[in-house]
Amino acid sequence: MPQVIDLGNDSPKLKGVHMIVGDGLCSNIYVVGRERATIVDTGVGNRANPVWPQLEQLGIKPGNVERVIITHAHHDHAMGAFLILEKAKPKVYLHEADAKHISSSLGDSLVAVKEGDVIETELWPLEVIWTPGHTEGGMCLYAREQRILFSGDTVFPDGYFGRFDGDSGSLVESIRKLAKLRVDVMLAGHGVPVLGGAEENIKLALRNAALYA
């Protein structure tokens, strides 16, 4: 079963944030708050990554799931949303450019967002940073005051970056946009949390990605 980590033990900035570690190719799942939880990415939604047992382990019941944010519409990040929707009634946030791929399956729960929109959570607001390139509607979520970035599949730890979805130029521009932000902590769609100095990691990813553009 996927492991649940209390990130508040690793960084005081992340008090109230939990991580369900992605098993295999499944994305990481981040849980922000517990009373009115916001879930950032939902995993692949298969038998090995069932989401609810881990949420229950955190004391989160269906009525506590207020929002789901999907950083991009790849199945390893998005399909778990349908498991969540079987029991709970959260709003599901997606960038408008990716929402079209699964909007019909999400029905009334879908909220299409765009650059600069702000999504409230129990802990702090998250700004939508549109980062096309890995997918057209890929987005990162930024807690500006806390300098926390949920980087989806745009930037990974150790200077790795997302695979291009046919458009290397826009991915590089997206990483360049992230490199201008003040970021201490980076929580990526795959891999381990970057708990300090994440700006350096983003700059390294920018240098690496620019070699391919």
**Residue 86, phi then psi, degrees to nearest 5:** -65, -30
Question: In this complex, which beta carbon is closest to Zn ion, that of residue 67 or of residue 74?
Answer: 74
Stretch that binds Zn ion, among 74-82, 102-110, 165-173, 190-198 (CB under 5 A): 74-82
* 199 counts as binding Zn ion under rule CB under 5 A: no
Cβ-based nearer residue to Zn ion, 41 or 66: 41
Please, which residue, 153 or 199, has the CB nearer to Zn ion?
153
CA–CA distance, 81 with 55 (Å, rounded to integer): 13
Which range binds Zn ion by CB under 5 A, 46-54, 55-63, 146-154, 164-172?
146-154
How far is the C-alpha of 41 from the C-alpha of 56, rounded, in Å? 17
- What CA–CA distance (Å, rounded) separates 56 from 1? 13
75 vs 161: CA distance, rounded Å = 18
Angle between helices 168-179 and 198-210 in degrees, nearest 10: 150
Q: Is 66 among the residues that bind Zn ion (CB under 5 A)?
A: no
Q: What SS3 class is residue 195?
A: coil
CB atoms within 10 A of CB 80: 27
Residue range at the interface with Zn ion (CB under 5 A); choices 5-13, 68-76, 78-86, 196-204: 68-76
Contact residue for Zn ion among 66, 98, 136, 153 (CB under 5 A) = 153
74 scored as a contact of Zn ion (CB under 5 A): yes
The size of the interface with Zn ion (CB under 5 A), counted in residues, is: 2
Nearer of residues 22 and 33 to Zn ion, judged by Cβ = 22
- Tokens read off for 22: 């992605």
Q: Tokens representing 206?
A: 């920018």
Residue number, 88 or 149, with CB nearest to Zn ion: 149
95 scored as a contact of Zn ion (CB under 5 A)? no
